[in-house]
Amino acid sequence: MKPLLEDIKQELKAKNIYLSHQRLKVLECLIQNHCHPTAEELFIGLHKDMPTLSKTTVYNTLRILAESDLVRTITIEGNESRYDIVTGDHGHFKCGSCGMIFDFPIDFDSLLTKELIRFKIIEKNIYFKGLCPECISNKQKIK
């Protein structure tokens, strides 16, 4: 599940991708924050300790990591991409009230219907929208 930085470093070396200071910081941030941040959020968080960091570098790094399958790009909203260091199959739930994104497990085998038998599946994505338990109970209180 949760990947270790050391393992990722190994994979990067194996794929001949140079691990610069900036790239390392982006990776660390993704590993520590499983909140599926946007590029902007990553930039803001990293910029505090790295005032010279460029937003372009954040985007470049995320693209390289995604192309190497070390990061998964999540598109839920259409006007923003989010990034997930957990690349294994799992679903995402976005709460429409607080905006939080939750992971949940998925049995992908049960999804493979006969209609897809002749298709080659490379990437699988599932996301739900609705209300998280916290926000549901908050609404109850207001009533």
Partner DNA sequence: TGTAGAATTGTAATGATTACAATTATTATA
Partner DNA sequence: TATAATAATTGTAATCATTACAATTCTACA
Q: Is 143 in the site for a second copy (CB under 8 A)?
A: no
- CA distances to 67, 75, 93, 110, 141 from 26, rounded to whole Å, are 15, 19, 24, 35, 39
- Minimum separation from the CB atom of position 20 to a second copy (A): 25
Q: Where does this chain touch a second copy (CB under 8 A) — which range of 30-38, 53-61, 64-72, 96-104?
A: 96-104
Closest to DNA by CB, 34 or 55:
55
Q: Output the CA angle 60-121-66, nearest 5 degrees.
A: 10
* CB of 83 closer than 8 Å to CB of 39: yes
Q: Is 107 in the site for a second copy (CB under 8 A)?
A: yes
Closest to a second copy by CB, 21 or 120:
120
Closest to DNA by CB, 57 or 71:
57
Long-range CB contacts (< 8 A, 24+ apart) of 116-123? none
**Chain residues 49-88 in contact with DNA, contact rule CB under 7 A:** 50, 52-57, 59-61, 63, 78-81
